[in-house]
Amino acid sequence: YQTFTGDLKWDHNDVTYRILNYSPDMDASLIDDAFARAFKVWSEVTPLKFTRLYDGTADIMISFGKADHGDPYPFDGKDGLLAHAYPPGEGIQGDAHFDDDEYWTLGSGPAIQTRYGNADGAMCHFPFLFEGTSYSTCTTEGRTDGLPWCATTADYDKDKKYGFCPSELLFTFDGNSNEAPCVFPFVFLGQKYDSCTTDGRNDGYRWCATTSNFDTDKKYGFCPNRDTAVIGGNSEGEPCQFPFTFLGTEYSSCTSEGRSDGKLWCATTSNYDTDAKWGFCPDRGYSLFLVAAHEFGHALGLDHSNIKDALMYPMYKYIKDFSLHHDDIEGIQYLYGPKTGPDPTPPEPQFTTSSPIMPTKSTPSEKTTTVSTTVHVDPAQDACQIKEFDAITEIQKELHFFKDGHYWKISNKGERKGPFLISEKWPALPAVINTAFEDQLTKKIYFFAEKQFWVYTGNEVFGPRKIEKLGLPSNLDRVDGAVQRGKGKVLLFNGENFWRLDVKSQMIDRGYPRFTDSVFGGVPIDSHDVFLYKGFFYFCRENFYWRMNARRQVDRVGYVKYDLLKC
Amino acid sequence: WCLPLKSVYVTFPGDVIKNMTNTQLADEYLKRYGYIDVLQKSGLQAVVSNSKALKKLQRQLGLKETGSLDQTTVDAMKQPRCGVPDIRN
C-alpha cells in the first residue's frame, strides 16, 4: 500500500460527506446507497465514522461531472479515466469526482429501480416474459401512454409484478421542480422542444421544462436516462434508432463497424450517413460502488497500490462479491488504526417463557447504569393495528416506533421487528414518550415525555431533567418532534412553534421559537410527531405523514402504516 | 460466411477518444499519470525510448518490466482506471 507524501489523513474520525449532484444513469436512492456502502467498506476496519450532510461544507464533497468539470484535471469521455479524488485536507482536498460520461451501474448492466406499479420499488428483472415475448430492456408494449415499464420477476404473465422505468415522462431529478415530469412540448428561448435538450447548458446534462413554458415559469428538471439510452457520442440520452443506415448498410442492432476500438454503437436517427447522430450502446457499465470505494480510499489518505487484487490498484475490475484486500486494510489501519471496541449495537435479548421477570424501575437519578433483564413480551401485538404512535425516530439506522411502553424497529431492508419493551432497553423511561432523537455526532439518545427529558449514552442514563433547563418556556407542556440539522443542532417542535437546540451547550439558540409554517410550509402545524429519516423531514398527523425534502418541498404524502411501518 | 470484414474506420463527431497511435497513447498516459515529469522538455520520441518511465509504469501495474512499449503494456493503458496519478511529481 502507499500513502500520500506526509501521510496526509483526517485529524478526526467523524468524517462528513455530502452528495452534491446525481448521475442520470441510476435512481438517486441507488446512488445514495452505493456511496454509503462504499464508505462502510472503510468504517468496518477502522474507528472512522461517516456522516452524510445535506447542506454546508462536508469533508468529502462528492459530485458527477463531464470533461472539464471545474478542476485542473478534465475527464476524457466514455471509458479511460473513470473518476478521481483528492487526499485529505481543506477545500477541494478530500473531494471525489465521478466522470458522468461513463455508464454508472452496479457493475452488471443497467440498474433500473422501478417506481409506482405494484412492486414496491423493486429492480427490473431482465429478461422478463410478457405475453410470451422476452424483453431485456424496459418496454412500452401493452401501454398507450408511452411510459416504459418492466417486470420485477422473470415472468410478468405469471406473477403480474411490475414497475415503471425511469423516463422523463415519469419524473425529473434535481432542478427546481420536485421531480415533476417533463411537459412536452415546452418553449425555451422562444423555441418549441418536444424532447429533453442540452441547449442552454455547457455541462452536457439533458433537461426539460416541467411546465409548457420555461421562458415564463422557469421550472425545470434533469432528465433521467432511459435504459435504452446511448452513452456519450453526440446524442447522450437518446435511444438507439433501429434500423439505421450506416455507410449504406442497414443495421438493426448495435455494431462496432467503423470503429477500431471494437466498441458497440448505434445511430439515434434512422440514417447515420445523413444525420451523423450516434452514441455508445449500454453495456455492463461500471460499478459505482467499487469505483467510489476506491476513490474514498484516496479521500482518506491512501495512494495507489501495485497489488493487482487490492481495491487501491488503479485499474477497474468488476468483482461480484467484494471484500477488502489485506493490503488495503494494512494501509488504512496504518493511517487510522484498527476498529476499536465491540460492535456498537448490543445483541438483542433472547425471549424466554420460563420466568416473566418484570423490570424493576431503577430509581431515577442524575446518572444511573442499567442492567438488562430477560422479560416476556406478547409478540402477537400487531404494530399495523396502531393508528397513531407516541413517537417515531431513527436510532442506529433503524426507524423506531414507540407506543405505550413498547417499540418496533424497521431495519434498512424494511424488516419489521418487535414488539420490544421500552423498559427493557431504557428502563428509566416512562411507558409513554412524546419524542426522541439520536444525536448524530455523539450517538446519545434524547427522550422527551411531558415536561421531562432523559439522555441515554449506551446503558447510562442522565435524567429525568426538566425541559426548562434546555431553555424551553416553562409553559411548554411537551415536545412533539425533533429533527437533527447537523453541526450539533436539533429542531424541537410543538404545534405551531419550533426551537433550535444546541446539543453541545444543551441550550436553545437565540431567536427562537419560530413559526413552523414560516419555514416548513405545506405540512400540518399540529403534527403529533416530527422526525428525520434518510434525509427527509417527516411530519405525522394521525396515520398520515407529510414528507419534506432537503429543499423544504413536500414531495410525498402517504400512510405511516404502509410506507414507513411496511405493513 | 468467410467474407472479409470491411475495415473502414470513421471518425465519429463528438467522439472524445480519438484514434491515437500507440505512441501517442503512451505519451499522454505516461504524462497524465506521473511517470514522466510534465516539465521534461524531451520530444515525443524521447518518451517512448525512455524505457525508465515505461519500466516504472510496468512495475506499478504489475506487468513484466521490459522497458519497451509492448502490446501488453498498450492494452493495460487502454483499461478503464482511476484518474489519480500513480506517481506525484
pLDDT one digit per residue (tens) for chain A, 567 residues? 899 888 889 999 999 999 999 999 998 889 999 999 999 999 999 999 999 998 889 999 999 999 899 898 999 888 889 999 999 998 899 999 999 989 999 998 888 999 888 888 899 998 899 999 998 889 988 988 889 999 999 999 999 999 999 999 999 998 998 889 999 999 999 999 999 999 999 888 899 999 999 999 999 999 998 888 898 888 888 888 889 999 999 998 888 888 877 888 999 999 999 999 999 888 889 999 999 999 999 999 999 998 989 999 999 999 988 999 999 999 999 999 998 766 544 444 444 333 333 333 334 444 444 444 444 445 556 888 888 899 999 998 889 999 888 899 998 777 888 888 888 889 888 888 999 999 888 889 999 998 899 999 888 888 788 888 888 988 888 999 999 988 888 999 998 889 999 988 888 988 888 888 878 877 888 888 999 998 889 999 878 888 888 777 777 888 888 888 888
State how far the Cα of A10 lies from the Cα of A7, in Å rounded to an integer: 10
Which residues are registered as beta bridge partners of A483?
A491
Asked if A325 is an interface residue toward chain B (Cβ–Cβ < 8 A), one would say no
Q: Which residues lie below 8 Å from residue A75, measured CB to CB, with a gap of 6+?
A: A65, A66, A67, A68, A69, A81, A97, A99, A101, B83
SS (H, E, C) A5-62: CCCCCCCCCEEEEEECCCCCCCCHHHHHHHHHHHHHHHHCCCCCEEEECCCCCCCEEE
Residue A232: closest C-alpha in chain B: B15
Hey, are the CB atoms on B8 and A258 less than 8 Å from each other?
A: yes
Alpha helices, DSSP H, located in A155-286: 156-159, 214-217, 272-275
Hey, are the CB atoms on B6 and A315 less than 8 Å from each other?
A: no
Size of interface A-B (CB pairs under 8 A): 101
State how far the Cα of A401 lies from the Cα of A361, in Å rounded to an integer: 22
Does ipTM surpass 0.95 in this model? no
Q: How close A288 gets to chain B, by Cα (Å)?
A: 12
**Burial class of A199 by CB neighbour count within 10 A (0 to 12, 13 to 18, 19+):** exposed
Of A84, A260, A278, the CB nearest to B84: A84
Asked if A500 is an interface residue toward chain B (Cβ–Cβ < 8 A), one would say no
Active site annotation includes A90: no
Asked if A81 is an interface residue toward chain B (Cβ–Cβ < 8 A), one would say yes
Of A78, A81, A306, the CB nearest to B62: A306
Of A77, A304, A308, the CB nearest to B16: A77
Q: How close A5 gets to chain B, by Cα (Å)?
A: 9
Of B12, B80, B84, the CB nearest to A304: B84
Q: How close A323 gets to chain B, by Cα (Å)?
A: 19
Of B8, B16, B82, the CB nearest to A83: B82
- The pLDDT value recorded for residue A353 is 38
- Listed residue (A187, A274, A232, A255) closest to A76, CA to CA: A232
Hey, are the CB atoms on A5 and B8 less than 8 Å from each other?
A: no
Mutation for A interface: B21, B81, B87, B89, most A CBs within 10 A: B81
- Annotated catalytic residue within A168, A179, A236, A295: A295
Give, to the nearest 10 degrees, the angle between helix B22-32 and helix B51-60. 70
Hey, are the CB atoms on A84 and B16 less than 8 Å from each other?
A: no
Hey, are the CB atoms on A76 and B8 less than 8 Å from each other?
A: no
- Taking the alpha carbons at both ends of chain A, their separation in whole angstroms is 48
Hey, are the CB atoms on B9 and A233 less than 8 Å from each other?
A: no
- The pLDDT value recorded for residue B49 is 54
* Residue A123, CA distances (Å) to A113, A119, A135, A408 in order: 4, 8, 15, 27
